[in-house]
């Protein structure tokens, strides 16, 4: 039996726009068109009489004023709403100024307007599709359904990747997904948001662009608030530098920056790291961030020297060790990577509980240690102990935010 989609249109539960019934529309439009047609007929008859000199000018003017007054009274006394009232006012005004030309033009325009309105999307619905409410209560309901373990039970429903929702979902499903990604943003979601910028539906593209702007504005506001607190002497210089470095680190890993802007942020953050570490050289988190920025900036040699210097001086942590090995892998120094992994493995063993299991196993492989899982079920297999330089150190995605 086919399964229901995770995000149903009905889940939005948004109230339908209160629109007049067809009977009400007919009762409102019919008198307008009848009166406008009569006014047009009288105006054309009066103009024809005037052109043939069949009646004096004062009588013609009186007939014209009579038509205008009748239209004005009908407009003021009848119960119009919305565009109906506006068209009634327009009919009266243009008839008074332009005579039969104004009446005929208004009648023709009104006909086109009501014909187009039959298939046009109401402005409120169009606007809501472009800018859905980020605080809509049903968004939380959809999110709870998305993370409900019972929905993703392996024998009941498969996990639905965000990119599949973007490719195959309805417009409402795509919008719901984008709102969720924005409200619970992580750097790994950035590729989906970027892909949404190329979606065939305009409302999805606009919402994704708005989301990217909203995320970037959040980081800018954080930095502006931090600078305001620093200028107001509410935080020390050291606190200002450390918070700025941490904010820039999150900003760099948000995934929304282009290459030029990311380069600017990295340069600024490196300067702040150097200033901060002169005051607090024992801060392992900032030491790690500085080395990682150097590596992501393409300065693998400098990053390797930095992490090696940290380790030799006793400034060690799981993150520093992992990215120290990553530097050697990026540099293609596989033999050195094996030697260093074996040299520091006893110390790394102490951090085993802190490492992600897969990262720890990779380091263990490079150190030439026997492993118990993942490779083979035969404990005597050579696969446990014989590793070549072709085996890679894959911690880029594992330790980005480890």
Same domain, 28 and 67: yes
Same domain, 400 and 314: yes
Same domain, 351 and 367: yes
pLDDT of 11 reads 39
Judge whether 215 lies within some domain: no
The CB density around residue 317, as the number of other CB atoms within 10 Å, is 16
**Is the pLDDT score of 313 beyond 50?**
yes
- Considering the chain, what percentage of its residues have pLDDT values greater than 90? 16
pLDDT of 385 reads 39
* Rounded-to-integer distance, Cα 344 and Cα 364, Å: 11
Same domain, 37 and 62: yes
CA distances from 16 to 22, 82, 129, 173 (A): 16, 18, 13, 18
How does the average pLDDT of the chain come out, rounded? Answer: 75
34-38, 74-78, 267-271: which is most confident: 267-271
Mean pLDDT of 131-139: 52
**Is the pLDDT score of 397 beyond 80?**
no
- Considering the chain, what percentage of its residues have pLDDT values greater than 70? 72
**Is the pLDDT score of 171 beyond 60?**
yes
Two structure tokens written together for 152: 């993703």
Judge whether 398 lies within some domain: yes
CA distances from 139 to 25, 172, 183, 214 (A): 35, 11, 10, 17
Judge whether 395 lies within some domain: yes
User: CB–CB of 36/107 below 8 Å?
Assistant: yes
One-character DSSP codes across 336-357: HHHHHHHHSHHHHHHTTTTS-H
| Band of residue 189 on the pLDDT scale cut at 50, 70, 90 | confident
State the pTM of this model.
Answer: 0.52
Question: String of b and e for 15-44 (b: at least 16 CB within 10 Å)?
Answer: eeeeeeeeeeeeebeeebeebbeebbebbe
Cα 374 from chain centroid (whole Å)? 38
User: CB–CB of 323/288 below 8 Å?
Assistant: yes
Judge whether 115 lies within some domain: yes
Residue 321 burial (10 A CB sphere; 0-12, 13-18, 19+):
buried
* Rounded-to-integer distance, Cα 352 and Cα 349, Å: 5
* Rounded-to-integer distance, Cα 176 and Cα 170, Å: 10
Judge whether 401 lies within some domain: yes
**Is the pLDDT score of 70 beyond 90?**
no
User: CB–CB of 189/161 below 8 Å?
Assistant: no
pLDDT in tens, 235-271: 999 999 999 999 988 888 877 788 888 899 999 999 9
pLDDT of 13 reads 40
CA distances from 397 to 170, 182, 187, 341 (A): 31, 21, 11, 19
Judge whether 378 lies within some domain: yes
* Rounded-to-integer distance, Cα 75 and Cα 366, Å: 87
**For the ranges 18-32, 94-108, 216-230, 317-331, which has the lowest average pLDDT?**
18-32
Judge whether 87 lies within some domain: yes
Closest by Cα among 305, 391, 395, 314 to 357: 395
**For the ranges 147-151, 186-190, 353-357, which has the lowest average pLDDT?**
147-151
Same domain, 110 and 185: no
Same domain, 157 and 186: yes
**Is the pLDDT score of 309 beyond 90?**
yes
**Is the pLDDT score of 154 beyond 70?**
no
CA distances from 169 to 94, 103, 178, 188 (A): 49, 49, 12, 20
Same domain, 30 and 109: yes
Mean pLDDT of 46-65: 82
**Is the pLDDT score of 183 beyond 80?**
no
Q: Which of 186, 204, 222 is the last residue of a domain?
A: 204
CA distances from 92 to 81, 103, 104, 197 (A): 16, 8, 12, 47
**Is the pLDDT score of 98 beyond 60?**
yes
**Is the pLDDT score of 69 beyond 80?**
yes
Mean pLDDT of 173-185: 78
Same domain, 100 and 192: no
Same domain, 336 and 371: yes
pLDDT in tens, 193-237: 778 888 888 888 888 888 888 888 888 888 899 999 999 989 999
Judge whether 145 lies within some domain: yes
Same domain, 187 and 92: no
Quote the number of domains for the chain. 3
Same domain, 80 and 36: yes
Q: Which of 62, 97, 121 is the last residue of a domain?
A: 121
Same domain, 52 and 86: yes
**Is the pLDDT score of 400 beyond 50?**
no
Q: Which of 91, 121, 151 is the last residue of a domain?
A: 121
pLDDT of 6 reads 36
**Is the pLDDT score of 370 beyond 80?**
no
* Rounded-to-integer distance, Cα 66 and Cα 71, Å: 9
* Rounded-to-integer distance, Cα 131 and Cα 289, Å: 37
| Band of residue 180 on the pLDDT scale cut at 50, 70, 90 | confident
pLDDT of 304 reads 93
**Is the pLDDT score of 150 beyond 50?**
no
Query: Which residue range(s) make up the domain with 50?
Result: 22-121
């Amino acid at each position: 039996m086919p399964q229901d989609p995770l995000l149903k249109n009905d889940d939005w539960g948004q109230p339908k726009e209160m629109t007049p019934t067809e009977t009400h529309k007919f009762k409102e439009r019919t008198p307008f068109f009848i009166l406008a047609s009569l006014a047009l007929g009288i105006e054309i008859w009066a103009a024809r009489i005037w052109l043939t000199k069949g009646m004096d000018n004062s009588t013609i003017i009186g007939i014209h004023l009579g038509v205008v007054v009748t239209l004005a009274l009908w407009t003021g006394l009848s119960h119009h709403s919305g565009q109906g009232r506006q068209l009634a006012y327009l009919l009266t005004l243009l008839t008074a100024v332009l005579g039969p030309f104004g009446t005929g033009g208004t009648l023709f325009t009104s006909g086109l307007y009501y014909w187009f309105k039959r298939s046009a999307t109401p402005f409120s619905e169009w606007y809501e599709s472009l800018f859905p409410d980020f605080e809509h209560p049903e968004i939380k309901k959809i999110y709870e359904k998305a993370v409900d373990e019972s929905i993703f039970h392996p024998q009941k429903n498969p996990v639905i990747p965000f990119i599949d929702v973007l490719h195959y979902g309805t417009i409402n499903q795509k919008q719901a997904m984008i709102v969720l990604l924005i409200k619970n943003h992580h750097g790994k979601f950035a590729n989906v948001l970027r892909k949404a910028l190329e979606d065939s539906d305009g409302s999805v593209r606009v919402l994704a662009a708005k989301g990217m702007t909203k995320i970037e504005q959040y980081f800018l506001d954080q930095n502006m608030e931090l600078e305001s607190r620093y200028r107001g002497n509410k935080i020390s210089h050291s606190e200002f530098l450390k918070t700025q470095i941490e904010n820039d680190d999150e900003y760099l890993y948000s995934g929304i920056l282009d290459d030029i802007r990311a380069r600017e942020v990295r340069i600024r953050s490196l300067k702040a790291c150097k200033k901060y570490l002169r005051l607090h050289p024992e801060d392992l988190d900032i030491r790690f961030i500085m080395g990682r920025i150097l590596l992501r900036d393409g300065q693998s040699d400098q990053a390797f020297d930095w992490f090696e210097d940290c380790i030799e001086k006793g400034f060690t942590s799981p993150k520093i060790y992992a990215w120290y090995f990553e530097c050697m892998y990026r540099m293609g120094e596989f033999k050195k990577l094996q030697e260093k992994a074996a040299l520091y493995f006893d110390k790394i063993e102490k951090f085993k509980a802190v490492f992600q299991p897969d990262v720890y196993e990779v380091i263990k492989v490079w150190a030439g240690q026997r492993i118990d899982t993942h490779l083979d079920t035969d404990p005597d297999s050579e696969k446990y102990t014989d590793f070549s330089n072709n085996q890679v150190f894959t911690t880029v995605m594992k330790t980005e935010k480890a």
